[in-house]
Amino acid sequence: MALVLAASVFFIVRDSGRQAGPGMVLVYHGSQLLKEVPLEKDDVFPVLEGRMHIQVSHGKVRVLDSDCLQHICTHTGWIQRAGQSIVCVPNRVLIEIRSKSPQLIDAVAF
């Protein structure tokens, strides 16, 4: 029993830091794709004629600033894993990270 437990902990720790491949940041306004940026490319770019600014840095992405009232999208902070997203409902903007290759992890719990 201890051997099985040790082996499972070993594989979880070994695979937890492994990225499934370089990701892409996709920015949508409604159903329209506005921008597609590689996650490994550091960049700050405006969206919606400068009403929002999105920052990609060191393999992570966040909403730097937004003109929405409650700023929930800016308070979300950095995201970095494929499948994570940031949503700004008032501006109808969705920012998501997609992996270029299939994911090794099918769920993440916080």
How many domains does the chain divide into? 1
Flag whether 25 is in a domain. Answer: yes
Place of tokens 């990701």: 23
Would you say residue 69 lies in a domain?
A: yes
- What are the pLDDT digits (tens) for 25-57? 999 999 999 999 999 889 999 999 999 999 999
The domain in which residue 57 lies consists of 21-99
**What distance in Å separates the CA atoms of residue 25 and residue 39, rounded to the nearest whole number?**
6
CATH, residue 38: 2.60.320.10
CB contact at 8 A, 26 and 33 = yes
Mean of pLDDT values over 87-96:
94
Residue with the bigger pLDDT between 94 and 1: it is 94
Give the pLDDT band (50/70/90) at residue 99: confident
Q: Is residue 110 one of the residues assigned to a domain?
A: no
For CA atoms 65, 84, 61, 43, give the dihedral sign.
Answer: negative
What is the structure's pLDDT at 82? 87
Average pLDDT rounded to a whole number, residues 46-75: 93
Q: How many Å apart are CA 83 and CA 106, to the nearest integer?
A: 10
107 or 92, greater pLDDT? 92
For residue 36, list its beta bridge partners.
26
Rounded Cα–Cα distance for residues 83 and 25 (Å)? 10
- 80, part of any domain: yes
In this structure, how many other beta carbons lie within 10 angstroms of the beta carbon of residue 83? 16
